């Protein structure tokens, strides 16, 4: 299994638009620099490892656009890393590398009402079981568009 990073998105706040970046610093135990989900160490409800980084397959977005009447763009998934060529659902409880950054897949990133409220009706149903992966950053570094995704 090897895949590739197609695009990277971050947003400074919870409902703010995602913006595309060519690279981002991944901080172990914290999250992605400049992203709304960067952990602050407060121990609060939203300060958990499964919020450090999210990934989604380009193939899943293409399938939604093929199988449903709605159309979504990659940034509308509100996931940080868009991939190609890797089955993210198979990475739950597994370690893998994105470029030089080591991640552990924690759980599926199922779509929620917040996502649908920021996009359009039908997104939750369309992305069910293909909404991506939540992962924690075990070893930090830089993630770049074009980086390889591979098992550890």
User: Is residue 109 pLDDT above 70, yes or no?
Assistant: yes
Mean pLDDT score, 130-136: 90
- The Cα-based distances of 65 to 37, 38, 134 in angstroms read 27, 30, 22
Q: Give the CATH number for residue 131.
A: 2.40.33.20
- Structural domain boundaries, residue 29: 3-151
Integer Cα distance of 61 and 71 in angstroms: 9
User: Is residue 93 pLDDT above 80, yes or no?
Assistant: yes
Q: How many domains does the chain have?
A: 1
Task: Print burial letters for 35-65: b (CB count within 10 Å at least 16), e (below 16).
Answer: bbbbbeeeeeeeeebebbbbbbbbbbbeebe
Q: Tokens for 133, please give them.
A: 């992966």
- What pLDDT is attached to residue 67? 87
Integer Cα distance of 3 and 11 in angstroms: 24
């Amino acid at each position: 299994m090897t895949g590739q990073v197609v695009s990277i998105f971050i947003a400074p706040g919870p409902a703010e638009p995602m913006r595309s970046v060519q690279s981002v610093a991944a901080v172990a135990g914290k999250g992605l620099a400049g992203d709304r989900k960067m952990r602050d160490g407060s121990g609060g409800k939203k300060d958990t490892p499964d919020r450090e980084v999210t990934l989604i397959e380009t193939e899943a977005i293409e399938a939604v656009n093929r199988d449903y009447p709605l159309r979504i763009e990659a940034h509308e998934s509100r996931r940080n890393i868009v991939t190609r060529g890797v089955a993210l659902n198979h990475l739950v409880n597994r370690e893998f590398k994105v470029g030089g950054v080591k991640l552990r897949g924690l759980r599926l990133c199922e779509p929620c009402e917040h996502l649908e409220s920021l996009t359009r009706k039908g997104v939750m149903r369309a992305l069910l079981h293909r909404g991506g992966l939540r992962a924690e950053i075990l070893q930090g570094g830089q993630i770049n568009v074009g980086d390889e995704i591979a098992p550890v």
